[in-house]
Amino acid sequence: MTNVSKWVVHSGATRHICATKDAFTSYTTMGDGEELVYLGDSQTAAVLGKSKVMLKLTPGKTLALSDVSLSHFQFFVGYTTYHIISLVSSESSACRKGSVISWKG
C-alpha cells in the first residue's frame, strides 16, 4: 500500500501512471514497445508493466486503482515527482454513470 500524498488527480490523463514499481501489489511486464503513454507535448513514453495499486487515503480508507501503468515518464511539480490518477480512465470509478467526485478541505 502506498501513501496518496505523491499522487495527483488529472482530468486530462487517459490512464493511471506510476513511476515506481514499489507501489504495485502485483506486476505484469509489458513487451518492448507493446504499449505507449502519449504525453501532452506529443512525446511518448514506454509502458514497462501494469498492475494494481492500493492507495492509503485516510485511516481505514483505501482506493484500489486497477490497470496502472509503470512508465519512466515522471510528472514533476517543482522538484517533486508525482504519480497520476486519471479521472477518465476506463478503469476509474469516476467514469461510472452516477459517480460523484467531491473535494474537501
Domain-embedded: residue 105: no
Kindly tell me the number of DSSP H helices and DSSP E strands found in the chain.
Answer: 0, 9
Q: How many domains does the chain have?
A: 1
Distance CA 59, CA 81 (A): 24
pLDDT recorded at residue 39: 79
pLDDT recorded at residue 46: 86
Q: Which three cell numbers stand for residue 71?
A: 512508465
Distance CA 95, CA 89 (A): 7
3-class state of residue 37 by DSSP: strand
pLDDT in tens, 41-59: 888 888 888 988 888 877 7
Question: Is residue 69 within 8 Å of residue 37, measured between CB atoms?
Answer: yes
| Mean pLDDT score across all residues of the chain | 77
Distance CA 101, CA 77 (A): 23
Domain-embedded: residue 29: yes
pLDDT recorded at residue 91: 55
Domain-embedded: residue 12: yes
pLDDT recorded at residue 71: 81
Domain-embedded: residue 99: no
Domain-embedded: residue 62: yes
Range of the domain at 14: 2-88
Domain-embedded: residue 64: yes
| Entry pTM | 0.72
- Residues of the chain with pLDDT below 70 are 72-80, 89-105
